[in-house]
Amino acid sequence: MIKVLNIVGARPNFMKIAPIYAEMKRRDSEFNPLIVHTGQHYDEKMSDAFFRDLGMPKPDVHLGIGSASHAVQTAKIMLEFEPVVLSEKPDWVLVVGDVNSTVACTIVCSKLGIKVAHVEAGLRSRDRTMPEEINRILTDSISDLLLTPSPDGNENLRREGIPDEKVELVGNVMIDSLFRNLENVQDNTVCEDLNLSDKDYAVLTLHRPSNVDEKETLGKMLDALISISEKLPIVFPGHPRTVGKIKEFGFSEKIIKSNIKLIDPLGYLSFLKLMSGAKLVLTDSGGLQEETTALGIPCLTLRENTERPITIELGTNILVGTNPEKIKQTAFEVLDDESFTENKKVPPLWDGKTAKRICDAILKR
């Protein structure tokens, strides 16, 4: 039996680990899975609620790291995680995504000679000013098994000199969670509670420091979004960081007077219900680019680059950058184009069976 420590730290990790952990538990003669929560996301609405929504048990280990600078947070995770590895003696440690917990736990395991599998390997934005890009590159360079969500990931790793025998295309495990939980949200009342009709609203998420930390940048972006909301109301579950900046910069009043409905963060199931009924999604998140592609919902990515180019090449995602005029123009064009989603495709292996392929890949090695 293979003992695996499954690492979660921030909210996007939970949707990736949940189906993998469930698959390992189903195969209990082959796997002994444990969940280690670093506590990188520590707010109850951002963390514990997602465990409940995804049907995950309480973590076997909780490191309780909390918020800090990138350096301090990464160092604290390493210091707290090393004794766990020495005590548990896992055969494999499985990390997902590109957060500080991912790279910190991978470094610890590399030093101790513990094998690491990286789920969502090979994604590249080509922008090294993004902390996540550094985390991706470092994690991939020292992991033992690189599990990619799309063919571009394999090609990126090949160009970086990673041996092919370390790499396996398994598909997108986020889509496993998406498909598995779509049927669980039919009775969710979030849209009724917000007086929303299906396909009669847009959803916005905004949290990246490059978008929200500078007053001028955030102000111009909000002005563009307010213009869009005059054509289609926008529901905005506010990330605590972003809400804090909106208050600090004095933008609260302009949002109150607009057709942007700023609400508290939502649990996974409520957000899934909200997002799946939207006519348009505007985001600077990575995962939403994938989920909207799988569901055929138009998505405008409010960034200058993306590590998920396949959602543009095949899917419903458009990279619009942060220029307010381009954001408005593209949004209006998409809303006026009833045929926009025609001929859009879901990438290969985004079929809800990725967790099975991940477990098979680990067993094979």
Active-site amino acid positions: 207
CA angle 240, 245, 248 (to 5 degrees): 125
d(CA 25, CA 166): 25
d(CA 162, CA 139): 12
Question: Side by side, which strands form the sheet with 92-96?
Answer: 61-62, 31-37, 2-8, 92-96, 115-119, 145-148, 167-169
Query: Using CA atoms in the order 228, 229, 232, 237, what is the torsion angle rounded to 10 degrees?
Result: 120
d(CA 337, CA 51): 38
The amino acid that residue 236 corresponds to is F
200: three-class secondary structure by DSSP: coil
Six-digit token pair at 205? 């998420």
For residues 35 and 50, the answer to whether their CB atoms sit within 8 Å is no
Residue tagged 């299906």 (tokens): 198
